[in-house]
Structure formats: structure tokens, C-alpha cells
Chains A and B, each alone.
Chain A
Amino acid sequence: MTTTQVPDTHGRFGGFGGRYVPETLMNALYELEEAYNRYKDDPDFLKEVRYLLKQYSGRPTPLYYAERLTEHLGGAKIYLKREDLNHTGAHKINNTIGQAVLAKRMGKKKIIAETGAGQHGVASATVAALLGLECKVFMGEEDTKRQALNVFRMKLLGAEVVPVTSGTRTLKDACNETLRYWVSHVDDTYYILGSVTGPHPYPMMVRDFQRVIGLETKDQILEAEGRLPDVIIAAVGGGSNAMGIFHPFVGDASVRLIGVEAAGRGVDTDKHAATMTKGTPGVFQGSMSYVLQDAGGQVQEAHSISAGLDYPGIGPEHAYLKDIKRAEYVPITDAEALDALQLLSRKEGIIPALESAHAVAHTLKLAPTLPKDTTIVISLSGRGDKDVESIIGYLGGDLP
């Protein structure tokens, strides 16, 4: 399938992607692309990345058969790809290890990162500590309150957390502020972008670093079931865990790929982050993709119970997969995600991140409609510890 050949040399996934950034950054993007192309197949580089993924982050992560959840739903067999068992508790570290090793190869001593839920910030602060790099993390002021634990965690790791007070004070403006800082410090600073978003080469490079999720899944499901899964379900904010698990299966036409986006309080309210369901193509934060925007092209505020999905854009390769109808994108509300989080906790003893709970929630709808001899793999992108405090806020401290 031709999809494995995207992006083209201009960073285009069909009509999406590209490099829509101020001129000041253009040479830095070329420098990054050249460095990435030089190292991505370099045996020493790959050896170091693979070593850290294995010995430091604990890969491969298990593909776990969720037997009690499967029985409860009475349909397709459900497997969980346990990205929550990575060091730092989410898939984000797959990418930060790759990029930090690259930054070091490029001779950069300082890294910057944006973060929403704080998972990418923690993963960046972690690899910065590991590799002896100076680290600054930009985080919306609103998110620093919602995710106070992660703020403290980043500081413990020696990173500086910069609260962003412009605009919506969430992930969107944290990204803007990181890009602005990069424009000013492009000489000596490496920007570890956390998702498959932004200007080329980031969507391609982050996808490549996250592909390990899908590559492992493929081996593991073949070992467990002797055949490919029927469905893969993953939550999408910017879309890095979803792209990581989808990508090795894009050429396998029999595998349904479903991205689950945050419907917040409902796609018919103005409080959601359902970029694919309600957005339209536009240019946002460096690339052409689907965007939540008004008729005049002003980007709208997103809403989700999950800080990691609370983003009005989505990676350009997802936009491409949607348009060529290779992947489907469905919305899940805050309430549905909370229910799914509780169900998975009680049935399997796994408290998922609110982001991942969106993928679980869609599985609750889909699995019962499928025959028992079919399989679904959920990308369980992160663990829920970071969300416990905000879940208390939603559910009340006293559970029945």
C-alpha cells in the first residue's frame, strides 16, 4: 500500500502536513530532518535507542488478554497493549528516548518540550536527566493545576516547568509558547515535540519512534492468536500512540483501525475536542490537518476531561488516513470515558489514564457487536495514577 511511502519530501501526507512556520525556524527543521535521516538507520544510533527502550523503559510491553473484560462484554476477545507499563507510565517515553538520543547526536545540550497532561513533559524531563541535558517544559497554567502531581514530578527530575498564561492556558498555547521559545533559542536548543503534529519532520519522526508499539503488537498477537487482530482501537489527541500502533498495520487491509477522540460534554455542545468529527481542514501549529476552528479560521478552544486529548488539532497523517478511509475516527464523551475507566479498574485491576479510557469506552460499545472469534487490541497508552485527583473531582471522593 502506498501509505507506507508518506510523507513525501515536503512532509506531505496527501494534502496534509507541510511546514507552516516562521522563516526563523526553517533551517532548524531542515537540520533536524537531515540529522534524523542520517541517524535513523545508523546501527549505533538504533542500538542505543533499543537498549534504552529495553533496559530503561522496560520494553517490550506486554500484550495482555483481558479475559474478565472480554467475558463481561460477551463478544470479541480484547487484548490490551500495556503502554502504561512503560517507565514514566505512558507511551510518551518511546518518542522522548528517540529524540533525546538524536538531540545528543546533534550536539544539543538543551531540550524544550510542551506538555498537556504532563506525560510528555515527564517523559522529556526523564530522558533529559538520563542523558544529562538541560530541560524546560512549557505547560498551560490551567493544566499545571489539573496535573499538579506531574508538575512536581518534572521538577523532581530537574526540569524547569514554565506555566503558560497566554490564550487558553492549555496544551494548544503551551505548544505556541514552546515554538516561540524555540524561535528565540534555535541556535542551541532541541525541541522534543511530543506528538505526531507540528511541521515536518516531526509527524514522520514521532510516528517512527512510536511504531515500536505496533511492531511489538504484531509479533505478540501473531504469537497469541496466530493471526492479525480484527480491530485496533486507540485514543487520539495529537495522535502519537494511535499512529504508533496503527502504522505497522496500515498495509494490512483486514485490520480495522479506529481512533477515538474526546467528545467532552458532547459533539453537539461547544465543549469537546472532536477534531475529526467536527473540525475542518486548516493550517495550525505548523501543518495542514483537521482543526477545530470557526468560519473565519480562528482556532477554537477544545475541551476534554483528559488533559492529553484537550487539543483542537490532530496529526496530519491521521487526517490522511481518514480521507483515504483507511482509519475511522469516533467520539467518546467525558462521561463514557469515566465509566470505562471504572469498569476496567474493577474488571482487570488496571486503572487506565483518562486518555486511554476513551479507547476502552469505544471498545465497550464495539466488542459486544462482534463475534467471539474476533479480536480487538486496545492501545492502553498510559496509566491512571496521574488522573486520580481529577477523577475524585468528577466522581466525588466516596465511591459506592
Chain B
Amino acid sequence: MSTATANAIDSVFAELAARGETALIPFLTMGDPDLETSVRLIAAAEAAGAHMIELGVPYSDPLADGPVIQRASERALRHSISLTDCIGVATKAREAGVRMPFILFTYFNPALQLGLERFFSLLQEHGFSGVIIPDLPLEEDAEVREIAERTGVHLIPLVAPTSEARVERIASRAKGFVYCVSSLGVTGVRSDFHAGIDQFLATVRRASNVPICVGFGISSREHAERFAGIADGVIVGSAIVRQVEASLPPSALGDAGRTEAGLAEVRVFIAGLKPRKAGEV
């Protein structure tokens, strides 16, 4: 089995744990504003201190996503970005010197249409360490999980505050990390989290053999720090995608100066999300 080689997600969490740090995991919609800029945004995220990154595949019907990521998907789909294009971005980002682990975030149908075997062999070939499929609950994931285990790509599951008795089943067999949904709802910036969030995270922690990360609605360093002590990582999506929307509108493309400036703004924004370690100012 190819899992004999350590998965990069596991290695990064082990290093962070040793240093007492919380993982910062940005999300970017691939192809927004275009694929070339996506590669540069990934590099900017790493320069800003990201420890691993979710590469989002734009989809026509993003059920789990709020308006910010919906708009990004629509922008990307205007130039017909495909699943294979998104997977290919990983190789280009490696060529540009990016070292952090890559996690693909895709709805199930594009992967299904590509063919699940081919999908995972492409993920392997392009150096992905994990995959998140938000509309594939455990009841439907048998085939995907089997191929994921065979190819050594971690299938990272989501758990929600409504998962209740399901937490145990989901977390106990998770690979990579458990993606804890912070609140009821779709992705997007929000001001408050689910009332029982701390208890929920404690429940997931008890059931899980792998790190736990929190996502959905995390948009500031304050949010990130709120979870730094109780989770192993924070995932920031919509807040970053919104910054990309503001700093790198399609009209900025082709203007080298504006693109540079936009990339710098996004880098600064991501750096500003990073939770400080105790005593750090």
C-alpha cells in the first residue's frame, strides 16, 4: 500500500503539535480570477504563513456554499474551469516552489463524471494529500473511501453541530483531520458560532484519532484565536475569497502592477488571520 509513505498532512500536524501551533488552512476557489493567478495566490498564501491549503473546484450547484463562494464559482465557470484544470494547478504551484500539502475541495458530481479511479489517480499524480467532498456523507462514501485508502489520499470528513450520534462514526474513521463545521449554515462570514460549539468540539476530540480543524464562518484573527486552543487548525474560506474578489477583480488581469498589488493585499490579509502563539504580539 502506498500509504507506507507518510501523508504530508499528518507530517505537518505532527510538526505543528511539537511547536504548539495551530494550523492555518486557507481555501481558494480555483480559476478565480483565472488559473494562473490561482497558482500565484497559493504561493502568496504559503508566504503568508499557511500550513496547508484547500483548493476549491468551482461547481454549478454549490449547495454547501454561501454567496461569496457561489460568486467565485460563477466567475471561474465563466471561463470553463474543469476539475482536471483545478487538479493541474497543484503541479504548477509545486513548480512555483510551494511546499505545503494540498487538499482538493470538490462536490461529488464532477469527480463522479471524471470516474472515481481516474479522479484519485490524478490526485495522486499531482501530489494531493487530501480531498474533501461536502455532499458525500458516510452513507454514500464506501467506494470513494476504498479508493482513497488505496491511493493514500486522505478523505477528510465533515462533522456538524447537528451530527450528534454520528460524530463517533465519522470521527473514529477519519483520515488527515476532521473538518468541524462551526455553525449551522453554509460557508460564509458570520459573527457568531453555534452556541454549543465548545462542547461539540470536545465531543469530536474525544472520538477522533486525528487532528480536528474548525471551519465555516471564520473570518478574522480573533475568530482563529478563539479556536486556537481547542482545535488543531482553522479553515478560512469565504473571508479570503472575498478579499480575492476585492483585490483581484477580473478587470485587474493583464495589468501586472495591479495584479502584484492585489496579490500583496491577499497575502497581508491571510497573514493577518494567523493565530498568535501564547505571549506573541
Contacts and interface: CB of A to CB of B under 8 A. Distances in A.
Q: Check if A and B associate.
A: yes
A23 interface: yes
Given A23-B181, A27-B163, A283-B108, A298 B186 contact: no
Contact of A180 (B60, B66, B139, B157): B66
Interface stretch (A14-22, A54-62, A263-271): A14-22
B61 A284 contact: yes
B67 to A, nearest CB: 7
A282 interface: yes
Nearest to B66: A180
Interface stretch (B11-19, B34-42, B130-138): B130-138
A176 B139 CA distance: 21
Interface in A179-201: 179-180, 183-187
Interface in B72-93: 74, 77, 82-83
A10 interface: yes
Contacts of B63: 21-22, 176, 179-180, 285
Contacts of B134: 22-23
Contacts of A22: 63-64, 134-135, 137, 158, 160
Contacts of B61: 167, 172-173, 176, 284-285, 299
B174 interface: no
Contacts of A24: 160-163, 181, 184-185
Contacts of B137: 19-23, 26
Contacts of A20: 108, 135-137, 140
Contact of B60 (A19, A167, A184, A187): A167
A296 interface: yes
Interface residues of A, number: 37
A298 B139 contact: no
A297 interface: yes
Given A282-B112, A299-B60, 10 more contacts: A10-B139, A21-B137, A22-B135, A23-B170, A24-B181, A167-B70, A173-B61, A176-B62, A186-B162, A187-B162
Contacts of A86: none
B135 A184 contact: no
Interface string A287-305: 0000101011111100000
Given A21-B137, A23-B137, A183-B186, A28 B162 contact: yes
SS class, residues of chain A in contact with chain B: mixed
B125 interface: no
Given A23-B160, A26-B166, A18 B139 contact: yes
A27 B109 contact: no
A296 B83 contact: yes
Contact of B140 (A19, A176, A285, A297): A19
A166 interface: yes
Contacts of B170: 23
Contact of A183 (B62, B140, B166, B184): B184
Contacts of A183: 64, 184-186
Interface string B166-181: 1000100000000001
A106 to B, nearest CB: 15
Interface residues of B, number: 40
A162 B212 CA distance: 36
A108 B74 CA distance: 35
B81 to A, nearest CB: 9
A85 to B, nearest CB: 36
6 contacts: A22-B158, A22-B160, A23-B162, A26-B166, A184-B184, A297-B83
Contact of B110 (A176, A185, A298, A300): A298
B113 A282 contact: yes
Nearest to A280: B113
Nearest to B113: A297
B222 interface: no
Nearest to A168: B60
Contacts of A185: 184
B260 interface: no
A225 to B, nearest CB: 45
B227 interface: no
B273 interface: no
Interface string B112-135: 111000000000000000000011
A166 B67 contact: yes
B164 interface: yes
Contact of A27 (B110, B158, B164): B164
Interface in B97-117: 108-114
Contacts of A23: 134, 137, 157-160, 162-163, 166, 170, 181
Closest 5 CB pairs of A and B: A297-B113, A184-B185, A297-B110, A24-B160, A297-B109
A300 to B, nearest CB: 8
A300 B109 CA distance: 13
B59 interface: yes
